[in-house]
Amino acid sequence: MRLLVTGATGLLGRELLRLAEHEVIPAYHSQPIPGGVRLDVRRQDEVLDVVRRVRPDGIIHTAFDQADWVTTADGAANIAVAAADARLVFVSTDVVFAGRAAPYDEDEPPCPVTPYGAAKAAAETAIRAIAPSAVIARTSIIVGHDGRSATERLVHAVAAGQPGAFFTGNIRCPVHVTDLASALLELLTSDVTGVAHVAGPQALNRLELGRLIAIRDGLDPDTLPFTPGLPSDVRLDSRRTGKLLKTRLRSPAEFLADRGLHLAVGQEGAR
């Protein structure tokens, strides 16, 4: 299989390149990558041209910009149009939901309350209409193993005295980048269509996750500042998709464990 990966210079994109056993063509926007092709997903003509030249059998679309509707929403639609003859896996997000006390499963319709969530929801709608056989893989906060994820960088920044705080009201289901990339590659070669939830099995707020990372990295978890923030419980129920995968989606308590140290949730600031 010839696989085109958009957003190949990002955390998830790089992990897909590392794990994929296919012939992979990485697509980048501003940061060149060896063997890659430049791609501005905002331009439909450019997307069509790149896909015609590469002729991929599959596309995993990870590229997005939280601050730009055109990149996130229109870009996904452009990819879907160009992917007429290719298997498409689109990476979406848990923030297509508004938040509630119960987890969301794959049958729940989007109900976003943020501009980024609305852009991703619009992208999902476009892909369903243009490429109904595609996979829409909703995920959550992505954590790495080398400090490159946004949450890991924030933990180290605030531990060093830089401004920042962790929201105790924002509850998500973090996933390890390796688990997510492996699951996406499985979905690519499966017969799954429509929405799939690919997130971890453990719900944590931002502070709890930050403390786990601090413990793993030898930092003092009790020094991390926190604030309630706007309440947003957007837990994904990934059990249905999980039953279809060989990849086991681990909990943060497992993939962030270090030398037997574990965080007891429910401390000050926890929900």
Q: Once rounded to an integer, what is the mean pLDDT over residues 226-245?
A: 96
Distance CA 216, CA 223 (A): 14
Report whether pLDDT(104) > 60. Answer: yes
| Confidence band for 230, pLDDT divided at 50, 70 and 90 | confident
The rounded radius of gyration (Å) of the Cα atoms in the chain is: 18
| Global model pTM greater than 0.85 | yes
Report whether pLDDT(215) > 60. Answer: yes
Q: What's residue 145's pLDDT? A: 81
| DSSP secondary structure, 8-72, as one string | TTSHHHHHHHHH--SEEEEEESSS--TT-EE--TT-HHHHHHHHHHH--SEEEE----TT-HIII
Enumerate the β-bridge partners of residue 41. none
| Confidence band for 146, pLDDT divided at 50, 70 and 90 | confident
